[in-house]
Each structure stands twice: as structure tokens, then as C-alpha cells.
Amino acid sequence: MLLLVDLDGVVYRGAEPVPGVAAVLADRAAAGDDVVYVTNNAMWYRADYVTRLAGMGAPVTPDRIVSSARATALYLRDLQPPVKRALVVGGAGLVHELHDVGIETIYAGDAAEIWKSNGRDAAAATGPVDMVVVGLDLDFTYARLACAAEAVRAGARFVATNRDPVYPHEKGLMPGAGSIVSAVETATGHTPISIGKPGKLLLEVAAHAAGVNVADAVMIGDSMVTDIPAAIAVGARSILILTGITKPSQVAAIPAAERPTEIVADAVELAAALARMAARAPSR
């Protein structure tokens, strides 16, 4: 059985592990399940996730990390006309993933410093770019917005790693990449192509990495905005775990057509749900 597992709100919240989930995933991997992590968070590089997840006791290898940064890089690698130079509003992990597929980048933080020192000339700050890539940027500023908006208005294509409005943190809900994407969209009037969930691409890339038909997978997520709709879009089964964004009080309001296959409160219930699904898993 292929498990496509969200990270923020499922395996951990900020720096804090969600109790018991890593152990459940380790048990499922020991039983023969494939575990692939699919996260809309584009701030970190694959190696960063490996270190973090391994430290929590979760089963992980670099090829089993498919972040929206990785999926965005693979999408841009194959895009026509080819992407030669991209302005990146986002974290170092997103820059690293783009470099891995041969795309030259200019970091929005560097462009913003040039913008502030040369009379707010955004075109001079970025130079020629044919793509603006926007993800979660914890240091987002007006200057970075100005540089990204000017590049899009000048004709650069516009791609969002994801449009999550929030992401769960150990201190509560924090603004997500979608809030930054919306700022660029508002400033330019241009709607980006979005790579992450609830679109299909992230899950399809992850299933391909495991050599499994995505419709045979089980998506484990905490969001009725991204995770469960993505599973429904690809025809996969899904488990909603109430440890992140979606709260128990919201479950009754989920329409029947949008409901996940299972809803669980914690790791104990997750283990039981996965055992039930394994008993009736489709054969490969």
C-alpha cells in the first residue's frame, strides 16, 4: 500500500512531532507499505526533511520526499519554452531544488536590496527573468513584492508552489504561501499556475517516485482545503487526521461528496484505519 503523507499538521506541528504518528508510519513501512511524504511547504530542501523526519523516527529516504518545491522544479524543467532564469520569492530549499534541475535563480531578498539602493527600479534589481516562482517566504517584504510584481508585469511567467492560506505551527496557525501568492496576484492582475495540493500534480509525482498508480494510494492529511480534495481529484482513498488545520467541530459540516474515506483523531486511530485499509487494499 502506498501512503502519501502530508507533513505540517500530520507528522509534526512546527518543531514538535505529532505524538505517535512517526511510529505508526515506521510500523507500516516495516509491514511493507511505501511511505512518500507530500508537502506543500516549499521552504526546505529534501535533505533537510530527511534529517528532521529521521530524528523523529519516521521512515524516510531522499527519493521519498516530494515537496511542492521539488514538484515545481520538475514542472519547470520540462516547460516549453524553457525556463532559463527565475526570480524566487521563497526559501533556500526552493532555490536549491531549482538549481538541481539547471535553472538559474535570483533570490528576491537580494533583488529587494538592490531595489532599495537604486531608486526602486525593479527591472534593474532583477535583470531579465522569464519566470517568477513564489512560495512561502518568512522574510517577505514590500520590496520583494515590488520586484516580483514588476517582473510579472514585464512578461515573466508566474508559478506558485502552492496556495495554502495558512500552515500549522506549534504556536498556532501561521500565514501560508497562498497569502504571499495572493499579494503578487493582486499587484499584477495575473493568476499563477499552482503546483501543490489540491491540484493533482504533487500526488502524481509522488506516486511515480514509488512506481505505483496514484489511484491506488492512500492520502493522509489534515486539510479539507488541500489534502483531501487532492486525493479525490486523483481517485485515491484518504484519511483526514484531526491534528492540524481541520478541527473536530468542523467534521459534521463536510459534504458527503467531499468526505475522506476515514476520519481519525490521533495516531492510535490512524493505525487502526490503516490496518482496515490494508485489509482491503487493491492489488497492484
- Count the neighbouring beta carbons within 10 Å of the beta carbon of residue 100: 15
pLDDT in tens, 113-151: 999 998 888 778 888 999 999 999 999 999 999 999 999
pLDDT in tens, 251-271: 999 999 999 999 999 999 999
Note whether 37 and 49 are within 8 A (CB): yes
The residues near 203 (Cβ < 8 Å, ≥ 6 apart) are 4, 38, 197, 214, 217, 219, 230, 231, 233, 234, 236
Rounded Cα distance, 1 and 7, in Å: 19
Rg value, the chain, Cα: 19
Rounded Cα distance, 24 and 271, in Å: 6
Domain ranges of the chain: 2-40+197-279, 80-194
pLDDT tens string, the chain, 284 residues long: the values are 999 999 989 999 988 999 999 999 999 999 999 999 999 989 889 999 999 999 999 999 999 999 999 999 989 998 999 999 999 999 999 999 999 999 999 999 999 999 999 888 877 888 899 999 999 999 999 999 999 999 999 999 999 999 988 876 777 788 999 999 999 999 999 999 999 999 998 999 899 888 999 999 999 999 998 999 999 999 999 999 999 989 899 999 999 999 999 999 999 999 999 999 998 865 54
Rounded Cα distance, 25 and 32, in Å: 11
Q: Could you tell me which residues are beta bridge partners of residue 37?
A: 5, 65
One-letter amino acid identity for 99?
H
Q: What are phi and psi of 267, to 5 degrees?
A: -65, -35
CATH number for 80-194: choose from 3.30.230.70, 3.20.20.140, 1.10.1660.10, 3.40.50.1000. 3.40.50.1000
Q: Kindly give the interhelix angle for 46-55 and 92-100, rounded to the nearest 10 degrees.
A: 120
DSSP symbol at 128: S
Query: Which ranges of 43-141 would DSSP assign to H, the alpha helix?
Result: 46-55, 68-77, 92-100, 108-117, 122-126
Rounded Cα distance, 273 and 231, in Å: 16
> What pLDDT is stored for residue 284 in this prediction?
46
pTM for the structure as a whole: 0.85
Domain 2-40+197-279, CATH class in plain words: alpha beta
One-letter amino acid identity for 271?
A
Pairing of strands 65-67, 12-13: unpaired
Rounded Cα distance, 129 and 217, in Å: 38
The two domains 2-40+197-279 and 80-194 share their CATH topology (first three levels equal)? yes
Note whether 228 and 239 are within 8 A (CB): no
> What pLDDT is stored for residue 282 in this prediction?
56
Distance of CA 248 to the CA centre of its chain: 24
The DSSP annotation for 187-221 comes to HH--PPEE-STTSSHHHHHHHHHHTS-GGGEEEEE
